[in-house]
Structure 1
Amino acid sequence: MRQTFTLFLLLGFTTVRAQTLPSPKEHFGFTIGDNYHLATFTQTEAYFQKLAAASDRMELTVIGQTEEGRNQYMFIVSSPENLKKRARYQEISQKMARAEGLTDAEAKALAAEGKAVVWIDGGLHATETVGTHQLIETAWQLASRKDPETLNILDNVIILLTHANPDGQELVSNWYMREKTPEKRSLDHLPKLYQKYIGHDNNRDFYIMNMKESQNMGRQLFVEWLPQIMYNHHQRGPAGSVLAGPPYRDPFNYVFDPLMVTGIDAVGAAMYNRLNVENKPGFTRLTGSTFSTWYNGGLRTTTHFHNMIGLLTEIIGSPTPEEIPLVPQRLIPNNNTPNPATPQKWYFQQSIDYSLSLNWAVLNYAARHRDELLYNIYHMGKSSIERGSKDYWTPYPSRIDAITESIKKASPAGGRASAAPALSHYEAVLREPSLRDARGYILPASQADFPTAVKFVNALIKTGILVHKATSDFSVDNKTYPAGSYIVKTNQAFRPHVLDMFEPQDYPNDFLYPDGPPVRPYDAAGWTLAYQMGVQFDRVLTDFTGPFERVPYGELQVPKAASPAKATAGYELSARTNDSFLAVNDLLAAGLEVYRITAAGSGQGTFFVPASAKAKTIVDKVAQERGLTVTAAPKRPAATDLTKLSPRRIALWDTYGGSMPSGWVRWIMEQYHFPFDVIFAKDIDAGELRKKYDAIVFVTRAIPAASGPSESGGYYGRRPPQLEEIPAEYHATLGSITAEKSIPELRKFLEAGGTILTIGSSANLAYHLNLPVRNALVEMTRSGVDRPLPGEKYYIPGSILRVAVDSSQRATWGMNGQTDVYFDASPVFTLAPDALARGTLKPLMWFPNDKPLRSGWAWGQAYLQGGVTAFEATVGSGKLLVYGPEITFRAQAHGTFKLLFNQLYSTR
């Protein structure tokens, strides 16, 4: 864990402070907001250092390193007097947010003493260039302005100005500024993802925090500072408006404290009122945009689950001037857009000016209401502690529907239920004892993949959740748990986040109009992280105690595992533990022999490593670093029960500009030490694939549909780049998978004995190869033609579903008989009976019933029953593995990683 530190220049402090504040124009050579000009991160870093050195209003801290090794900066800005007492104000902010052991009177006293803490960031999505540049201008204005409003802000607020994506700014600004002629500059066709591995998905990482940048910012937000307001700058607003902002459309998540939601309303009002006073029209809100507060995992949205007023604006603007288009329906004032903008030419400077106005509106609100903001976050935390300390029922939509059904069944036909019986229906459904919220969760240390459970615990700890650990064996509800088990109780301030990580999301049925098409959620509808990671836990509905020690806030856990005894025969590593694959890869890389046990039974798929001093050194290291349980085998299994492994030559598909799903898989494979090459469409079209590779992985959106446009390649409807637009160093990455050139080469690869694994929509390859499978989610029209089920009948956005697994297959070794999968309008198949009988097709996962939904929204889920969602096909001498669900989804779906890992070894 990296400690934050204050960046001091080597010059004497007194001398430095006497320097004149450098303006952006003096440093960069242009004014922030000038057309056709962007600052690089290298330039920005130097400016931040100059500004901090010359101003007594700000300290510049490095909160960590980025994935590419750059410094990630945060300014701490306030009056010089406040900065001298920074530690005390930080302590108050922490105490108020956690609300532990305070009386209301003590909280009011701390609120009166403390300063409001406000986070403002920029640049997370690096092609949204307003964000980074408003951050630069904001830092300069806060350092230099002397007007009464700014001075009052500095006296009453501590501002955390945070650069969200240094790597992205360097890439994007250099790409834009590479063209010498300003009018020819363009942000189009960036050659790679603007954050290493994940690009735009960097705003989907904040409840698990896989990336270094997420970890750096998450520690400041949820462990170190815990601001009362955080403001996340983005682009772009809906066509016809200048920006979208708070408040946001329904649904909001039912675990929220209502004061957080109304707090967003209050600050939002300050923001759009200021714009109106300054004659800056074009702010839209509510259903004027698609943005909601349902989803967790975003830089802004995860703060909602921590009682923080999380703000998002999405503004138009680019260094290249653009137009506000004519959208007639946005010209009439209404509650969504009270002050519409008119069609006009729009300049970068206008977006910077709007952003500064919005920042000052938020900061002015915080200055005027600092004690209220501090007390309110305490009040929300206290309410969460109280709810977690007693019986409480969260009113989810499915339970409201159950009340309605109960009333209908009890009422005479055409009649109306009386008030008293209606109350009894409420009590029976919404106060059903078995449906009350959990008081806590126990994660037993005895579960098969405890190292992954600890990764889940660490995700909670990174987000500021209080965790306990058992110091000895204990019992709860007549069940015994071993020492080392983790306990997460709900009587804590951030209870909303705890519930959201363990419990199903219950997304409401949301349609444009009755019997009409569904309204798409902003992101996922369901994501329960414990389900995605395959973590075993018990919900406890009553208060419980035990030999529990409190884990200090922010202290990450390392699972403990004893080094295995020296073995005469060898060592066994469970296939049910993901980190076993890491150990196997290290063993293979060291040239050691590794086998898998093929005999049917509970140990099928277990790794066996013949004993040697070198093997013991490696397994000891992984056991200590990862908590991996390694068993000393008393004897070598029979030769007929073993198959020898060797590392495969693995290729992972990617595309020009970068595929986020591919980037996530790249990160996963690096974490688990799989060797691989990244290949592109041109590599595939060149042929001779079998001479180079044994296995190729295609993530979702790599393989185009078998009917329709022949190219995919990750351009997602955008114009593919032309050769003359792209520097020569990137030419090899251009191109798309096509039916004409690529598919024949993939067929040759399979027929020659290669293995291809497809995820998500890349299951299209099965149709290109004319395998005897068909889409299970179709209906027949009157003309006798199959068509996809319409949204009015069947619609499943990103959600968690439960599937049955044939865990006896090599592809699924280490899996349980049922598992949770992340499903996002994923393909589902019907397999031809004769192919099943011949064994050329083998179903791996399927839906065994008509109610597979675990978390999220699944309209028409009964259509899934019996559908196959993963299968293995024999093609010539090779194998095609097709996985409809997103088994590597955003590197969160640890519970299904083995479905990928099992394919990445050769056996003989």
Structure 2
Amino acid sequence: MMLKSYVRKACIAFLMVGALNVHAQEIPTPKSFFGFNIGDNYNLANFTQTEAYLKKLAASSDRIKYTTIGKTEEGRDQFMLIVTSPENHKNLAKYKEISQKLARAEGLTPEQAKTLAKSGKAIVWIDGGLHANETVGIHQLIQTAYTFASRNDDETKNILDKVIILMTHANPDGQELQSNWYMRENTPEKRSLSGLPRLYEKYAGHDNNRDFFMLNLKETQNMGRQLFIEWIPQIMYNHHQAGPAGTIVAGAPYRDPYNYVFDPIIMTSLDAVGAAMHNRLNIEGKPGYTQRGGSVFSTWYNGGLRTTTYFHNMIGLLTEIVGSPNPMNIPLVPARLLPNGDSPNPVQPKVWYYKDAIDYSVSLNYAVLNYAQRYSDELLYNIYQMGRNSIDRGLKDTWSFSPKKIEAINANYAKETNTAPVSVTERKQIPEKYLDQVMKDPANRDARGYIIPSDQPDFTTAIRFLNALIRTGIQVQEATTDFTVNGKKYPAGSYIVKTDQAFRPHILDMFEPQDHPNDFKYEGGPPIAPYDAAGWTLAYLMNVKFDRILDGFNGPFTKLPVGELLTAKPKPLPANARGYALSAQANESFLAVNDLLKAGIEVLRDPSNGSFYVPASAKAKEALTKAERNFGMRLVAAEKPKNAKAVKPARIALWDVYGGSMPSGWIRYIMEQYHYNTTVIYPSDVDAGKLKDKYDVIILVGGSIPSRTAGGRGGQFNQDVTNIPDEYKSRVGRMTVEKSIPELKNFLEAGGNIVAIGSATNLASHLNLGVKDALTETTNGKEVKLSAEKFYVPGSVLSVKLDKNLNANWGLDELTDVYFDNSPVFKITDNNIKPLAWFNTDKPLRSGWAWGQSYLKDGVAAFEAPVGKGKLIAFGPEITFRSQTHGTFKWMFNQLYN
């Protein structure tokens, strides 16, 4: 009996081992599915294929769970693979909860946090495909998923045991478009990534990596929820291309400046993980990694998939690697050949294959994941510690340093001692009292919280702002009744954002001005461009009214559920009203007006202030009740304004170009959000003429109009139509001085209006209007553009003054914040041209970096010029920038009615 039992058990054990071996053999290789290995030259997988393969991989492996996190803008599923050991898969809810508790750090003692950290698993995010033309990103993700499904070495098993990996596709729509475009050519050697006919994210293209504090797009909203609300990983890794010439890959740690609101643990953690990545490549004999000053990437900016995570105490990693499905060469850059602290293991010129880039990427993933498994409990505890630090700073008087405060300390010292000013970077010792003079000034203290009153003019935009915060995991509170703080009374329904939260750095960054340091290659030399913007304070860009509260405060406040978006609270229409007024100060009024006009309901406009008037009727009440319910319209009973004029929707055209314009794409997004009907037109449509027969308003954005000295061509490029599908051929071409400008002039003279934004204001010069460039100086008898050494304002927030009585300015504040990126500034020489906005001070900077800003004084930022029966309305600043600048949307909206 004992022998039979033994034999029976042995047979069962043998069968189980056999089953496991069969299971392992069933894991599909990429080649068995796609027909090629990931990294084979001239081959790309599209999203449809990738989705099917990864579903099959997950079905064959107990290490991988296939999940979807939402729909894309084009309606595809956006997937996230959860990769970990089978045992961990049984307890995902538990590990997610531990990650959330430690990241939020609320109500946990250090001892409790250490216990949780030891019982938890490190969470690591790895994504791919955000920028679809950077094809290594998504293909390394496929290869990495297969590797973790199939490998059984100790390192892989240790990682699976100690780490939960979130492998996320950042842009499914883009992969489908780009891969299909590349693979359409039958001859492999003729395949090319160039010439994509439209943006690889429906609205934003490359700007999808600039949307992570705003979270406008469906894809970024999906990822934001996983990053900031659901999983809150300790490490996130964002794959990009391409590395600087003469290198293979640029990665952590990154160059200065870094944002002053970060916890210092973020910066030292970037050093540690970056060293692990760098070491891994060196050990494997893979040269060419560069860091810090070896590339342009810094940690200053908020808004990127990597960078927004810093403001949430996550170790955000970015690599930019060289690679293409077409073989390429690593060029000779002699200055890169000598080893240094940024690049201790330089690469020499060589042929570089796609598989090389995939191999490097998988090695870098393993470096990050191996670090995470070795230091899992430390990573979990450290994110708690950073969160706890933020909470503590928000509960007490705290003074943060910034360049302007250092300048103030040095200026006080220089004034009292009658000595030359000390530079911000000069390491001179001075008495401590000068520190106290500045840093103990209550005005320089960090806020304990912010109150957003519910009675502000554009409260619906304030709600949009709050929803952007909520999507990034910020805790918001609501006042249930009226209350008073510091002697000021606030109405019920006001919102409160306190800074005693783990994600305090992000709160400060959204409410407070950025103070970018003066950053030059050498003293008196050219400026070093920031990585993207220098200033972006979202409350300023959205014109949200708020009060900074410096002392601790409480009230009848209810904490709202984390991650739950605010919705408008319906209010009944005013009873027995003859009509209703909608304020021109509220963006949502324009949305409601567009719906009313589409329903055939009469809308009039008050010529004194631009407010809309809707005569009472059963149909109007029904439509306005719906608007009230969905968008929170503020309606008041009103009498018909004197001299009110009927509003009619304009026929709107929006310029675009073959390949897609990002500024134009963002305006398409805004138009859809606010329910405008818009026709997209291309240079060939302009050149065909008879524009006034079809349109009343044409919107032109940066890149559409050539400068006077640019050889007569605008737009992005001329594309050879030989190998372009018929549906895209009409988009090919650029605006020209010879054909396009005369047709635009004809349109204006016939009574059309043109809204020109950014460099599209070049049109004024082509039309010989009385407008000059204000940012010039006379040198040797010639008028020349100010050099960057004298004037340089990369993306920042500036203040302009405007005339509120002008129709184009209806609904805007007399002092309005604008997004300015070395934008055009004008000098008016014709009295028939009306300045709409101008710089009324020599210090207009509100947030960011403005070198030589005194040159802006009295310069015109926007103007309105008559041309025949029509008007050119020109805005130098980017009034629709990335659909973030809600405070200046009205400048465009006001022009879109007849």
The alignment's TM-score, normalised by the length of structure 1, stands at 0.95
Contact 1:281 1:341 in 2 (8 A): yes
SS in 2 for 1:905: coil
SS in 1 for 2:351: strand
Contact 1:17 1:53 in 2 (8 A): no
SS in 2 for 1:747: helix
CA positional deviation for 1:494 = 0.4
* Correspondence for 1:578 among 577, 581, 587: 587
Matched, 1:470 2:479: yes
Matched, 1:626 2:639: no
* Correspondence for 1:426 among 416, 435, 447: 435
1:708 alignment partner AA: A
Contact 1:561 1:629 in 2 (8 A): no
SS in 1 for 2:385: helix
Contact 1:802 1:854 in 2 (8 A): yes
CA positional deviation for 1:643 = 1.1
Contact 2:775 2:825 in 1 (8 A): yes
Question: RMSD value over aligned CA atoms?
Answer: 1.7
Counterpart residue number, 2:411: 405
Distance 1:332 1:418 in 2: 30
1:96 alignment partner AA: L
Contact 2:706 2:714 in 1 (8 A): yes
CA separation of 1:84 and 1:706: change in aligned 2, threshold 3 A: same
CA offsets, 1:337-391, max 9 Å, x none?
1100010110000000000000000000000000000000000000000111111
**Correspondence list, 1:748-897, <5 A:** 748-782=746-780, 784-832=781-829, 835-836=830-831, 840-897=832-889
Counterpart residue number, 2:3: none
SS in 1 for 2:818: strand
Counterpart residue number, 2:315: 309
Which aligned segments of 4 or more residues in structure 1 are displaced greater than 4 angstroms? 13-19, 412-421
Matched, 1:645 2:637: no
Distance 1:17 1:608 in 2: 70
CA offsets, 1:754-796, max 9 Å, x none?
00000001110000000011000000011x1110111111100
Matched, 1:711 2:709: no
Contact 1:249 1:289 in 2 (8 A): yes
1:608 alignment partner AA: Y
Contact 1:16 1:54 in 2 (8 A): no
Structure 2 spans left out of the alignment, 5+ residues: 1-18
Distance 1:81 1:761 in 2: 58
Counterpart residue number, 2:27: 21
SS in 1 for 2:62: coil
CA positional deviation for 1:24 = 0.6
Distance 1:680 1:671 in 2: 22
CA positional deviation for 1:332 = 0.5
Distance 1:361 1:659 in 2: 38
Distance 1:251 1:164 in 2: 27
Distance 1:16 1:435 in 2: 67
Q: How many residues align?
A: 877
CA positional deviation for 1:709 = 1.8
Counterpart residue number, 1:679: 681
Distance 2:512 2:362 in 1: 39
Distance 1:420 1:522 in 2: 32
Distance 2:206 2:853 in 1: 30
Counterpart residue number, 2:13: none
CA separation of 1:19 and 1:882: change in aligned 2, threshold 3 A: same
CA positional deviation for 1:431 = 2.3
CA offsets, 1:304-341, max 9 Å, x none?
00000000000000000111011000011011111000
CA offsets, 1:11-64, max 9 Å, x none?
xx9999788111111111100000000001000010111011111111111100
CA positional deviation for 1:432 = 1.5
Contact 2:266 2:315 in 1 (8 A): yes
CA positional deviation for 1:637 = 2.7
CA offsets, 1:778-833, max 9 Å, x none?
00011x1110111111100000000001111111111111100000000011101x
Distance 2:492 2:25 in 1: 59
Counterpart residue number, 2:557: 548
Q: What is the percent sequence identity of the aligned residues? A: 62
Counterpart residue number, 2:466: 457
**Correspondence list, 1:121-136, <5 A:** 121-136=127-142
CA positional deviation for 1:410 = 2.1
CA positional deviation for 1:67 = 0.1
CA separation of 1:328 and 1:577: change in aligned 2, threshold 3 A: same
Contact 2:281 2:364 in 1 (8 A): yes
Distance 1:62 1:446 in 2: 40
Counterpart residue number, 1:182: 188
Distance 2:21 2:162 in 1: 28
CA separation of 1:367 and 1:868: change in aligned 2, threshold 3 A: same
1:636 alignment partner AA: K
**Correspondence list, 1:591-602, <5 A:** 591-599=600-608
SS in 1 for 2:798: strand
* Correspondence for 2:742 among 720, 741, 744: 744
Distance 2:241 2:614 in 1: 53
CA separation of 1:18 and 1:428: change in aligned 2, threshold 3 A: same
CA separation of 1:196 and 1:17: change in aligned 2, threshold 3 A: farther
Distance 1:352 1:315 in 2: 10
Moved more, 722-731 or 234-243: 722-731
SS in 2 for 1:710: coil
CA separation of 1:854 and 1:71: change in aligned 2, threshold 3 A: same
CA separation of 1:130 and 1:419: change in aligned 2, threshold 3 A: closer
**Correspondence list, 1:338-417, <5 A:** 338-411=344-417, 413=419
Matched, 1:523 2:527: no
CA separation of 1:372 and 1:767: change in aligned 2, threshold 3 A: same
Counterpart residue number, 1:4: none
Distance 2:461 2:452 in 1: 11
Counterpart residue number, 2:12: none
CA positional deviation for 1:571 = 1.3
SS in 1 for 2:621: helix
Distance 1:302 1:18 in 2: 39
CA positional deviation for 1:418 = 14
Matched, 1:904 2:896: yes
Distance 1:420 1:594 in 2: 67
